Amino acid sequence: MSGRLLVSVSSIFDQTRPAANRLISNLRADGIMVSLLVAPRIDGEWRLAKDKDTLTWLEKQRERGHELILNGFDQAVQGRRSEFATLEKHEARLRLTGAIRQMQKIGMDSDIFAPPRWRMSEGTFAVLPEFSFKAAASTKGLHNLENGEFLGCRNLSVGEGFGAAKWWRKNVMKAVTRGAEKGNTVRLSASARNLTNPKVAADFREAALAAVDLGAQVETYSNAAAQLPYS
């Protein structure tokens, strides 16, 4: 049985956009579409609404078929924890409302949600049905919010609060190989902050290609969630 491959890139802003663009362009040429995790605020002063170059770039990527996934409200508040990792319902609701409104104002709304570093509190998950999300992804797996179906599939991350050193990338490659050989759903993600290192970008691309070579079918998060439950 063939598995699925879901690839994503996060932390896309003015300073990381060139590195993200190089990897995404290369993967697209390989036939691998990348989901883009986008937030309205990153690194304190940066605001997507004020960055016309990044806005234009995101619009072009979406036109090319790359899906946008809402990746939080203000990543600068994370510190040592992730923004939605421990929130109760009330605070999660406020942050989601703010993020959705800001993204809608600039025409970048999305019906998929994935919290920073994929870490989602019970309070956050509990309020997601109040919004227009069709799917959500967490460290645990992929959720179809319309029919309640869930697919357990852990994320293999480079950066995003996880490692990016050579030994870590080797472990990610091994996990990708094992998952693809078993026909599992393989989720690969990278922080664009780490993609500025050419070796990290090259290894990440190699991992994605290895999954495809082992039979994994490239899929978007929205399509993968819509097909749940898998037969």
Reported as a pLDDT band with limits 50, 70 and 90, residue 54 is very high
Task: Tell me the pLDDT tens digit for each residue of 187-206.
Answer: 999 999 999 999 999 999 99
Mean pLDDT within 78-92: 84
Range of the domain at 65: 4-226
207-231: pLDDT as tens digits: 999 999 999 999 999 999 999 998 7
Task: Report residue 76's pLDDT band, with 50, 70 and 90 as the boundaries.
Answer: low
Cα–Cα distance for residue pair 166/156, rounded to 1 Å: 14
- Prediction pTM value: 0.95
Quick one: average pLDDT of 164-185? 96
Q: Are 137 and 224 in contact (CB under 8 A)?
A: no
Q: Is residue 190 part of a domain?
A: yes
Is residue 231 in some structural domain? Answer: no
Q: What does the pLDDT average to over 104-122?
A: 95
**What are the structure tokens assigned to 132, written together?**
């227009």
Does 165 map to a domain?
Answer: yes
Residue 74: band (very low, low, confident or very high) from pLDDT cuts 50, 70, 90 = confident
Here the CATH number for the domain that contains residue 196 is 3.20.20.370
DSSP 42-96: ETTTEEGGG-HHHHHHHHHHHHTTPPEEE--SBGGG-TTS-TTSS--HHHHHHHH
The three-class DSSP label of residue 157 is strand
DSSP symbols for 18-44:
HHHHHHHHHHHHTT--EEEEE-SEETT
Answer whether residue 54 is part of any domain. Answer: yes
Looking at the 3D structure of the chain, how many domains does it have? 1
Please tell me the least confidently modeled range out of 52-61, 87-96, 157-166, 202-211.
157-166
